[in-house]
Structure 1
Amino acid sequence: MKLSRFAVLLFLFFIPFINVAQQRTEGEKVKVSGKIVEKGTTIPMEYTTITLQNTANPKIVTGGITNEKGEFNFEVSAGTYDIKIEFISFKPFEIKQKAITENTNLGTISLEPDATLLNEVEIRVDKTTVEIKLDKKVYNVGNDLMVKGGTVSDVLDNIPSVSVDADGVVSLRGNENVRILIDGKPSNAINITEALRQIPADAIDKVEVVTNPSARYDSEGGGGLLNIILKKGKNLGLNGTLILSTGDPENYGASGNLNFKSEGFNLFTTTGYNYRNNPGNSFTDTEYLNSDGTTRNFINEKRYNERVSEGVNSNFGIDLYLDKSTTWTNIFNYRKNNGNNPEEVTYNNFDANHENQFVTSRFNDQKSNSQNVEYSTNFTKNFKKQGHKFTIDASFSTNDDHDNSQIENNSDVLKFEKTSNDQSQTRNMIQSDYVLPIGKNSQFEAGYKGEFNKLLTDYEVDTLNTLINRYLPNPRYTNELQYNEKINALYTQFGTKIKKFSILLGMRWEDSNITINQLTTSDFNNKRYSNFFPSAFLTYEVSDQSSLSLSYSRRISRPRGRQINPFSNYSSNINIFQGNPDLNAAFTDALDLGYLKRWDKLTLSTSMYLNKTTDSFQFIRKESGDFVPVVSGGKDIVNNDGSVTIVDGEDYDIPVILSTPINLATEYRFGFEFTLNYSPYKWWKLNSNFNFFRNQTDGDYTYVDFKGNSISQNFDNTAYSWFTRLTSKVTLPYKIDWQTNLTYNGPQNNAQGRSLGVFSANLGFSKDLFKDKATVALNVQDVFNSRKRISDTNLPLLNSHSEMQWRVRQINLSFTYRFNKKKNEKERQPKRDSGDDGGDFQG
């Protein structure tokens, strides 16, 4: 309640602040103009920031940015100013005590690239910019045509090295053990996959891809981490953007971001509403075998679903500039989503000769709603020496997810069922970092982070007892799970630059205390371990245009959510996913060798990597021992425990197949990738990414089946796979932008079968209107309707082929209007804080 009153008071004061800012610009006005070019090439530098600070009253700060010709022209009050001209990875240009009493042309000013920036190269393109740094790559999403009207999942699926499969699972270089952060913090969502599908792409500013994180970052994520940075305006004055979108299948949305910045504070908000219909389909054709290998029967399972969602996302925040060196930021985030997913499942039953015996169906009317609330705060103190700072971060969040289903079967037994899945989570985090530059080329860092997470899941499946006409719990699939996690971490790292060599060494210590309590079965597990996670980075600058890097880090993957929850979905009653509460954490040693080379029109970034993971997660399929009885004629009786008593009629028992994760012994992953940015002409830009990897698993798994037999399976397997992505952007006549995205994910073998290769394509077009104040964009996701997960499974008692399409082809149309803000404008005002992730060592 106190936080709500605080937000209302800020809005009430909003208009007076604007009036004060306007009054300060009144008085005698003169024009300041000029042109900014790159030294040595004389290429005009668009979006360069020009800042003027009044020497008589330093609180008066004004300025502007250059246009596509590198030119600037704006008005200021007559006076004497200190002028500063800035562009990322270029040396600032300053003019002290410049008297501006009449219209003044500063002439042509050349900015020189800053060679002291350690391995930081910016490739300037119209729509998506990549900044390559020592330990990460930053992709500025900009106005990417492929993601207009889409979600965060669509954004990630357009980032090099990142792929999102048909289930929404994110992988980095083909590795699904990826840590996903939002604004540098773990998402407060219980189901991160669904959360990424709910946040609109328009709210994203940039994505950081860290394939081999240093000790500064959480050790979580054996495959690396992705940090999604939300938009937060920093430009002076009042500015913002409004975006409207619609599409087919039916979807529409509206979002806007508003920013007002003065010398004392920065007020910002991003709010959006979206309605999406994502129809999908899948099928699984299964051949069931007898113990001697002969065919017993066939079942073809088909699903059709709607996946309708309606959601609101909003954040409201304020930067308070307590003085010239101290900033206090407070942000309130709110997300609410309601979903409806009517799903039809049809089972075609065949005998051993593939003669149709009978058809059963299952209608699952699923409804869901979720609500996420988060408050985060940041305090940053900058000291006199540039880069010397102290920060404190904290966040507090709650998340509630509710999912209910009414299920109707047309079989003779188990006619009606219903499920409920209630989840509540609290996640609290506190973090402190200290950065100390030493001399001109060295830097020391140290920090603490504590994460405290509690999750309660209450899952229940009820079956209608026809004798008493009451729903009774089915003990096979009913479970209440309590998950508590406490992680405390300390880290330190030191970086230095000696001539052309740069070194960054770090050590992180984490203490994990995890309790998993299955309240229904009174099964309690406590997993506590303390581990050290070293990291080391070595970079050699071959020349101003190329560099070599070698890095090592140790990582951890802790099982969470769906992986440990025994039951979370019952849409199919013969193919069920079951979590494993006894999963242990997996540890990864990662080694990466990289090379970066830049030419005039071409930039190449390539790396070769090797990962070794112990206790790696492997998903297996096995018979559960349970059967779904289906009878043709006669009458069966459903007992209180869910079993069936056959009265008469012919009975067909369908075995229930479980998919569950296990800890396998060891996994070795070796691969190489390269990313190319090529601009053959001013009107044509190409971006390509290729990744090839070899994945080897060594291990055996032994379990006791439903008959009491000990079953051993050998999971030794070596698989080769690759994926590639090509993006082309062409500027057509009349300034129409045309963007094409082609992706291919290669086939891959596993110990129990094979996943097949999948090709997909996206198209996008855009046109600027109203003197570049507005943009209309049209995109088509999955042009050929081919994006699916296709796999074959071979077990001792069954063979199956399945195809799953989460979302069919989608067409989106969007309209963007900007006020007091130029197209593709980057937030390049002089920073008063350090950014999102602490201190980037730059040597």
Structure 2
Amino acid sequence: MKYTRLQRLYLFLFLLNSTVSHAQDNLITITGKVVEETGGQPIAFATVMVAHVATKKPISGTTTADDGSFELKTDATNFYIEISFLGYQNQTFAKPISSTPIIDLGTVALIEDAEQLREVVVQGEISRTEFKLDKRVFNVGKDLSTTGASALEVLNNVPSVNVNIEGQVSLRGSQGVQILINGKPSIIASEQGNALGTITADMIDRIEVITNPSAKYDAEGTSGIINIVIKKEERKGLNGSISVNTGAPNTHSVGVSLNRRTEKFNLFSQLGVGVRELPNDIETRNVDLVNNRTILSSGIEYRNETYYNIVLGTDYHINETNVLTLSGNFAMEIEEQPSSTAFAAINSGGDTSSNWERNEVTEAKNPKLQYELQYKKDFKGDEDHTLLFSALGNFFGKDQSSEFKNTTISGANNDATQHTRTDFKEAVFTYKLDYTNPFTEEWTLETGAQYVLNDVSNDYEVNNLVDGAFENDPGLTNIFEYNQKVVGLYGTGSYEGEKWGIKAGMRLEQTDLSTLLATSGEANDQDYTNFFPSVHTSYKFSDRISLQAGYSKRIYRPRLWDLNPFFNIRNNFSIRQGNPDLLPEFTDSYEITSIYILGKTSLNLGIYSRYTTDVIERVSTFQNNVSTYRPENIGTNQSNGIEFNTKYSPVKWFTLTGDFNYSQFKREGIFNTTVFDFSGDQWSAKLMTKYKLPLDVDLEMTGNYQSSYQTVQSTISDNLYMDLGLRKSLLKGKAVLSLSVMDLFESRIDESQIAQAAFEIYNTRQRGRFVSFGFSYGFGKGEAMEYSGQRRR
């Protein structure tokens, strides 16, 4: 039996106006406890109603306590008792025949009602985008919260966001996006793992896309911030899931996720093991235009890994307003790189003068350790009035040894053997304190501080085989030490009315960077302090049309591998190295974005402008047919662009999502007396179609296109490729079969060409088609989960 609105109104009015006018000796006390039939967990806030047998109108009522218990008094004589809770089948009890002052119903077990649940969620069918001052909020509806979909798949449905084969997330075509979970750095969102694949879509409440971050956020990076907000629902009891995956090239994994919730604790864990293989077809052509000599190289590079992963953590609810979280993640990768490259030297007459092969045998162990400590206080009376402290530690190591052996096939003798050894250690600590106070419904104050410490040591050694004995190469052997400390303070104030809002703030960051080549004593110290202002505003013309505008100043600090001067000698005719003298990039970013909702279609149109100084570009130098790539600061870049994205669902079984981005840029700069002034443009597009087929099967196809574009030296070729996915739900969504094909037509090829007066360089790389098949099963209240292991470093 289900409630009607009229019944609920009667019950509310009765409870509101009930009196104690009835004689105490006529009262009947009704007691009991309500639990779930599966698992026996108590159900809080279930409705217990006493209703008249003839009229069906409520006479009295109450709700259950946190432990599921209830007690209800009535002086009625002709009644029945009904117990209900959203998503469960109602239980009805008649009044006992014998008169008794106490009716004890004992333990009442409610059974889940799948039909009722479907009626509830259908209202949130379509995912929609809305503006909130400095961010675009993508609310996840039922069309995406399908059992089995992971957070990575949901991100791939968000306008402006793209996720590639390895799970790397880009925003407006740019990588380096900072991903947060509930507004803070997290083990789950770390670059070191693919743990985002363990968050299912139905766990996500919304995704906040911040393309122009306010002063509240770290000023690092220019691509923006993606904040994944997890639902607050409590799933008490033992929940979990298991996932088994296989694919080609060889990729196999097993993952188990467990979660146990009680009144005070939420215990969670994840165990995973797997192997994966990543081959790359490569080709390089170095042409010396002065001496008319060419070196051709081609082959397959492999990176094979066996990995083990464990996550343990707990949320401790100290009381209603204080929560303490502690979690940790340990992973071990065992890595092999059995690669082979064929070389050919071609003389000025076009004849091949020699052929040889370069074979690599690399073995490495990569331990990873992360921890997270978080304390959150919600002030009574306002859940948005919060104090949050978080500490995140990240440790990574690499113990690697490699052997490179050249074997002559014909022509000149190119036999050679090299050994390399790498002992790498990195520690990153992030401490953050945030305070938010919405002191009125319209006005909010935010303030906080952050401290980030990055400490790295890389001991690298190269030895050459000479006359049967290995000799150290001092030019390629050194210990590189990198230490960076960043202290940040910020404050923002915002006003958000019914239609109009504004947010402004200022961030101060002080950076202390030092690098040292310990063996040679070369040091580089940088110490600088910068202010990062921001201002954002939005206006809601109607429920259909909104407008947002913003400005922020950003910084890109050179990464470790941008600064590390050590050579990568896998291909000793195509060498990459870092530059310890690099300066940071600074960007002033402006944008105006609009959103228009037309029926079942949402349209987003934006224009943006970015001005960047000390732009970091990789520049190639050429000597003896050896190209050396090294990052340099080269001038300025002015970029102006337009972005358009839309989502259209004309019928329930079909959804179309489109994303288009076009930008023009103007480069100005000088390097080594060479002027690099030029203009260019680039554009990208993504079109995704999703079909709901019979038998609970979902089909998804995504086409991606990236136009060609210029850098200071290179021309990057365009790219067109398609991904495909199929998903079949089983056992009412508790189990999922999935099939995915990345780069369906094997058309995704990374290709670049450098044409200079004295040399030409051509590079191409292709990973090919990836096919994977998976099965996931959720138990308790767990959902079927995707587990695809650790992301490569």
**Scaled by the length of structure 1, what TM-score is found?**
0.76
Alpha-carbon spacing, 1:349–1:157, altered in 2? closer, same or farther (3 Å): farther
Q: Alignment partner of 2:695: what SS? A: helix
Alignment deviations for residues 261-297 of structure 1 (CA, whole Å, 9 cap, x no partner) = 222221122332221112111101232111xxxx612
Mapped contact 1:687–1:726 kept (Cα < 8 A): yes
Cα distance between partner residues in 2 of 1:137 and 1:724: 20
User: CA offset at residue 478 of structure 1?
Assistant: 2.0
Alpha-carbon spacing, 1:101–1:188, altered in 2? closer, same or farther (3 Å): closer
Mapped contact 1:245–1:814 kept (Cα < 8 A): yes
Mapped contact 2:47–2:62 kept (Cα < 8 A): no
Cα distance between partner residues in 2 of 1:279 and 1:530: 44
Which of 666, 674, 678 lines up with 1:717 in the alignment? 678
2:781 aligns to what?
821
The answer as to 2:417 corresponding to 1:416 is: yes
Alignment deviations for residues 514-534 of structure 1 (CA, whole Å, 9 cap, x no partner) = 111111221111111111111
Mapped contact 1:200–1:272 kept (Cα < 8 A): no
User: CA offset at residue 778 of structure 1?
Assistant: 0.9
The answer as to 2:631 corresponding to 1:661 is: yes
Q: Alignment partner of 1:783: what SS? A: coil
User: CA offset at residue 620 of structure 1?
Assistant: 0.9
Q: Which moved more, 1:814-823 or 1:322-331?
A: 814-823
Alpha-carbon spacing, 1:185–1:275, altered in 2? closer, same or farther (3 Å): farther
Mapped contact 1:488–1:512 kept (Cα < 8 A): yes
Cα distance between partner residues in 2 of 1:26 and 1:149: 28
The amino acid of 1:391's aligned partner reads L
1:392 aligns to what?
389
Q: Which has more radius of gyration?
A: 2
The amino acid of 1:307's aligned partner reads R
Alpha-carbon spacing, 1:220–1:565, altered in 2? closer, same or farther (3 Å): same
2:104 aligns to what?
none
1:763 aligns to what?
724
Q: Alignment partner of 2:424: what SS? A: strand
Q: Alignment partner of 2:474: what SS? A: coil
User: CA offset at residue 146 of structure 1?
Assistant: 13
Mapped contact 2:285–2:762 kept (Cα < 8 A): yes
1:525 aligns to what?
524
The answer as to 2:647 corresponding to 1:677 is: yes
1:482 aligns to what?
481
Cα distance between partner residues in 2 of 1:183 and 1:392: 13
Alignment deviations for residues 536-586 of structure 1 (CA, whole Å, 9 cap, x no partner) = 110000101221000111111000111001125221101101100000111
User: CA offset at residue 394 of structure 1?
Assistant: 1.2
1:691 aligns to what?
661
The amino acid of 1:237's aligned partner reads G
Alpha-carbon spacing, 1:680–1:620, altered in 2? closer, same or farther (3 Å): same
The answer as to 2:576 corresponding to 1:615 is: no
User: CA offset at residue 131 of structure 1?
Assistant: 6.7
User: CA offset at residue 103 of structure 1?
Assistant: 9.7
The amino acid of 1:790's aligned partner reads E
The answer as to 2:502 corresponding to 1:503 is: yes
1:73 aligns to what?
88
Mapped contact 1:622–1:659 kept (Cα < 8 A): yes
Q: Alignment partner of 1:771: what SS? A: helix
User: Cα RMSD over matched residues?
Assistant: 4.0
Cα distance between partner residues in 2 of 1:667 and 1:495: 32
1:645 aligns to what?
none
1:374 aligns to what?
370
Alpha-carbon spacing, 1:163–1:738, altered in 2? closer, same or farther (3 Å): closer
1:492 aligns to what?
491
2:249 aligns to what?
249
Cα distance between partner residues in 1 of 2:426 and 2:230: 22
Cα distance between partner residues in 2 of 1:369 and 1:239: 33
2:458 aligns to what?
457
2:19 aligns to what?
none
2:214 aligns to what?
214
1:780 aligns to what?
741
Q: Aligned ranges for residues 43-442 of structure 1 at < 5 Å?
A: 57-58=65-66, 60=68, 72-74=87-89, 133-137=132-136, 160-163=159-162, 171-176=170-175, 178-179=177-178, 195=192, 199=195, 201-203=197-199, 208-227=208-227, 234-290=234-290, 296-386=292-382, 387-411=384-408, 412-413=413-414, 415-442=416-443
Alpha-carbon spacing, 1:175–1:815, altered in 2? closer, same or farther (3 Å): closer
Unaligned runs of 5+ in 1: 1-17, 33-52, 63-69, 79-99, 114-121, 626-653, 703-711, 826-843
User: CA offset at residue 734 of structure 1?
Assistant: 2.2
Q: Alignment partner of 2:272: what SS? A: strand
Mapped contact 2:657–2:688 kept (Cα < 8 A): yes
Mapped contact 1:606–1:672 kept (Cα < 8 A): yes
Q: Aligned ranges for residues 792-831 of structure 1 at < 5 Å?
A: 792-805=753-766, 807-821=767-781
Q: Alignment partner of 2:541: what SS? A: strand
The amino acid of 2:775's aligned partner reads F
Alpha-carbon spacing, 1:74–1:749, altered in 2? closer, same or farther (3 Å): same
Alpha-carbon spacing, 1:129–1:768, altered in 2? closer, same or farther (3 Å): farther
The amino acid of 1:72's aligned partner reads G
The amino acid of 2:308's aligned partner reads V
Mapped contact 1:408–1:415 kept (Cα < 8 A): yes
Mapped contact 1:338–1:369 kept (Cα < 8 A): yes
User: CA offset at residue 485 of structure 1?
Assistant: 1.0
Cα distance between partner residues in 1 of 2:732 and 2:120: 31
User: CA offset at residue 221 of structure 1?
Assistant: 0.2
User: CA offset at residue 510 of structure 1?
Assistant: 0.7
2:694 aligns to what?
733
Unaligned runs of 5+ in 2: 1-34, 50-60, 71-84, 94-106, 786-793
Cα distance between partner residues in 2 of 1:249 and 1:144: 28
Mapped contact 2:42–2:66 kept (Cα < 8 A): no
Cα distance between partner residues in 1 of 2:365 and 2:62: 53
Alpha-carbon spacing, 1:149–1:309, altered in 2? closer, same or farther (3 Å): farther
Mapped contact 1:243–1:256 kept (Cα < 8 A): yes
Mapped contact 2:740–2:773 kept (Cα < 8 A): yes
**Scaled by the length of structure 2, what TM-score is found?**
0.80
